[in-house]
Chains A and B, each alone.
Chain A
């Protein structure tokens, strides 16, 4: 390598590393930046550690995997600032116990609420517009207890009175809908779906989880479900993260499941700010256990057309971690 090249690269790396260091770990001392520079100088190679676009963790308990994934993303402080009010939106659609994998894992939800509060969130609210009786869902999913224990607040989502009109200018079929006021009021929200087979939408993951923030789901079903799901995701307030729970996975008879026989324990977690990429990765992961083509899960492709993200995972910086 020529000296000129070396110098040029060194300067670029130094600038990149320092800016990254600044943005990713504000509280840490600046000396860290020079460690990175030092490394690249010693190894004579440039490895700019940027924040990955998508992190997948496998082989741990839900809370452990969450910690690892958030750490890899540079900490939840990247997404939640001190004093912000947060909504965590799991899937609590069904009156089922956690083993049935019909609802987001309560340990994961509890851990996430705790993380948000530790990051200085002013309050963390959790709700879902459930399918079964909401009180039974909240209770039997284990989520109500987990959220309360973590210091969050469960609020009802069962009544039209809580939902307020929003317009979706980019929507094709769904141009306006009613969204829960807690989300309208919140500074940020985190989408925490569970990965499941779904009789209607083929799969329910992060994009489909939007159906739990709106009031009138009947409109979705009556006006091209797949398009409406994608349209709903064009709402201007996007989740800062999509945390996909694939610890227990309902492989058949979704979204409710007939019994525990439909469930496999796969101990996986996928996180990304890119909702389309997260869903794409989740479908490809699911495809290993049950055949599922990405193009059949229509709303994901339609989401890409809405420029909500990319299905081309090759283009992304993905971190895969086995515990």
Chain B
């Protein structure tokens, strides 16, 4: 039976290592294709509309219980690491290891949160899901905490090597960790850390909407943890080792709606055979545990009741949110492939993978400047860079489909905004000296220098061919208000291709001097 646990540990390590490495790979050395593993995450799969993945995961749960939570979910695995290395996880001499104990399920909390998150999602708001989704929370930790730590280490080493004339590594300044993202990441780090050490997988069985959803299926799973009532001597070792706190050793019951499929209980049993993981469908069993049925019924009742109240309140909540975004607040510039503000907001759960992957660090999590609706959502900031003309990495890696995958050709015509020129602020107008920094950085020459006075030239914007890459805004030397700025498109458009005219070929050219 230990084999199951080994399989779990190996699979879990594979997923968490790959996902973490992908997030902290600030030089983009790993192949972009690794983002494929993220499509197995439930919330991204639902939002991306990957029906097959969702069906697969639900069936997996229906067959084997919530193994997703221990094998695939990075947030779950992350908590397991905490549990493993905390004092509670260690074997203490003369004391039984992992001293968890059975608690009743917090059904009202977990199902009301699941219900609320679902209803909000149906109304096009990721408000609750964004804060509770385990993958997104793990992503934010990886992007805003682990990645900076790795970069910091790289910089120490790079500076040391450079002092010795070795340029194998280079120093990287970090611009894309914002205050809001840092606070959110530290908060969830502490929550995961503290909660897991004290109460095991309490997060997964109360706050996590994925855990909540899967519990509805694992409740009836075909393979179940169950007691061999004659062999069991009620020693309680399995209960003490159960981080889901779902084993009641006295009653010899296992709440499969909360079991995360870690299989630690199997190896904890001194009798070895007293607790099993076996094919035992609920409908086959005549002696279904009373408690289980009761909790199920109870939870169903509370679930329905809560859903009702939520349904009534959701539209109000939603309209509150949308008012903010339509008001005086500026529109945020979305990464290319977002299509439009509404779609993006409905699909993005702020996992910050695009933030971590952007080679120019211009995708940055928003604070409250665009309202609560867009808190932590990625948007473009042209302070330390601009969007590379041919780069498509953000659109490629987004697991939620919040950013549609773009080809290079599509990207070069995807208009995320349009440059607006304010002549009165421009250097050429004010000081009558040459500048042209904006036009210099314009890849399509949508910002072009045209004759102005004498030999002076001044920028002219052709909106049709502008893609809003922000090169002009980034480089404009006017402070604090730039003379040229990108105003976001609510609906990302398709820019026209610039006119390409072949220069006349020159035959027999001379030196000319």
The answer for the CA separation of A258 and B455 in the assembled complex, in Å, is 23
The answer for the CA separation of A281 and B457 in the assembled complex, in Å, is 23
Asked if residues B167 and A153 are in contact (CB atoms below 8 Å), the reply is yes
Asked if residues B477 and A226 are in contact (CB atoms below 8 Å), the reply is no
With contact pairs A199-B439, A200-B436 given, residues A221 and B171 touching in the complex (Cβ less than 8 Å): no
Q: CB-CB contacts of B163-192 with A at 8 A, as 1s and 0s?
A: 001010011010000000000000000000
What is the distance, in angstroms, from A209's C-beta to the closest C-beta of chain B?
Answer: 14
Q: Does A251 contact B (CB under 8 A)?
A: yes
Q: Does A317 contact B (CB under 8 A)?
A: no
The answer for the CA separation of A259 and B509 in the assembled complex, in Å, is 22
With contact pairs A95-B390, A219-B477, A221-B427 given, residues A289 and B498 touching in the complex (Cβ less than 8 Å): no
Q: How large, as a class, is the contact surface on chain B?
A: 35 or more
Asked if residues B359 and A200 are in contact (CB atoms below 8 Å), the reply is no
Q: Does B300 contact A (CB under 8 A)?
A: no
- Determine which of B165, B391, B440 lies in contact with A256 in the assembled complex, contact meaning CB atoms within 8 Å: B440
Q: CB-CB contacts of A142-170 with B at 8 A, as 1s and 0s?
A: 00000000000111100101000000000
Residues of A within 8 A of B391 (CB): 136
Asked if residues A221 and B437 are in contact (CB atoms below 8 Å), the reply is yes
Q: Which of A133, A200, A224, A281 has the most CB of B within 10 A?
A: A200
What is the distance, in angstroms, from B120's C-beta to the closest C-beta of chain A?
Answer: 38
The answer for the CA separation of A296 and B456 in the assembled complex, in Å, is 9
Interface size on A, residues (CB 8 A): 59
The answer for the CA separation of A20 and B181 in the assembled complex, in Å, is 69
Nearest B residue (CB) for A253: B445
- Determine which of B389, B431, B435, B509 lies in contact with A200 in the assembled complex, contact meaning CB atoms within 8 Å: B435
Asked if residues B436 and A198 are in contact (CB atoms below 8 Å), the reply is yes
The answer for the CA separation of A133 and B474 in the assembled complex, in Å, is 13
The answer for the CA separation of A73 and B412 in the assembled complex, in Å, is 45
- Determine which of B165, B477, B511 lies in contact with A320 in the assembled complex, contact meaning CB atoms within 8 Å: B511
What is the distance, in angstroms, from B501's C-beta to the closest C-beta of chain A?
Answer: 6
Residues of A within 8 A of B436 (CB): 198-201, 221, 225
**A10-18, A105-113, A261-269: which lies at the interface:** A261-269
- Determine which of A133, A225, A255, A318 lies in contact with B360 in the assembled complex, contact meaning CB atoms within 8 Å: A133
The answer for the CA separation of A291 and B511 in the assembled complex, in Å, is 15
What is the distance, in angstroms, from B30's C-beta to the closest C-beta of chain A?
Answer: 15
Q: Does B93 contact A (CB under 8 A)?
A: no
What is the distance, in angstroms, from B430's C-beta to the closest C-beta of chain A?
Answer: 10
Asked if residues B449 and A199 are in contact (CB atoms below 8 Å), the reply is yes
Which residues of A267-323 have CB atoms within 8 Å of chain B's CB atoms?
Answer: 268, 280-281, 284-289, 293, 295-296, 298, 313, 318, 320
Can you list 14 A-B contacts (CB < 8 A)?
A131-B475, A136-B359, A153-B167, A159-B173, A200-B436, A202-B434, A217-B477, A221-B436, A225-B433, A252-B503, A261-B500, A261-B501, A318-B513, A320-B511
